[in-house]
Amino acid sequence: MAEDQGSYAYLTFVTSNPNKVTEVRQILRDFSIAFEHLNLKYPEIQSSSLRKIASVSVRYLHKKLKRPLFIEDSGLFIDALGGFPGPYSSYAQKTIGNSGILKLMSSIRHRTARFESVIAYIGTGCDVCLFSGIAEGSISLEARGVRWGFDPIFIPHGSRQTFSEMGPEGKRKVSHRRIAVEKFGIWARERTDRAVNSFR
């Protein structure tokens, strides 16, 4: 069962990342949308496109679980590194981490980068619906803050702080994930009555 009652209470969010669950739940509460969290790892194809990766993954999960669900895929794209780590951000974080990225950037002055997020939803009446968000910014000269992932080295445009230094509330206002999740929330609210009735 869902942990809260609300619109789309029978949705399932599949991710093995508890930090994503917290962030997405906080954003969707503004749309009175609740969901069940399922901690489940799933295969991801090798592709340069987050949208393609998310589409294939959500179809795989829907075939396996047979229920309305959504996933979120995101990546850090650094211009000077040809978009690396991009779709391989999770692997890069586990292997070289923030220190590895900063080492690769040590002699680079052009430090522009962007975070991208894609929400992929599949359910009744929707083969695969995608909602994307982008946060433009730059890579800091050193890691600042202690939050998860690449947050300590990404400075969003209009700020002097990294995502980590902004804290959960500050980041949530401007993050790539918020943009994508809000698009999903708006779309879902417009279809709440029809969708909830069909999910029961």
Residue 40: Cβ-neighbour burial (10 angstroms; 0-12, 13-18, 19+): middle
Beta-bridge partner residues of 12:
36, 69
Amino acid identity of 180?
A
Give catalytic residue positions: 73
Cβ contacts of 66 within 8 Å, gap of 6 or more: none
Place of tokens 């496109």: 49
Residue 35's nearest CA partner among 81, 83, 70 is 70
Q: Please state, in angstroms and rounded to a whole number, the distance separating the CA atoms of residues 173 and 169.
A: 7
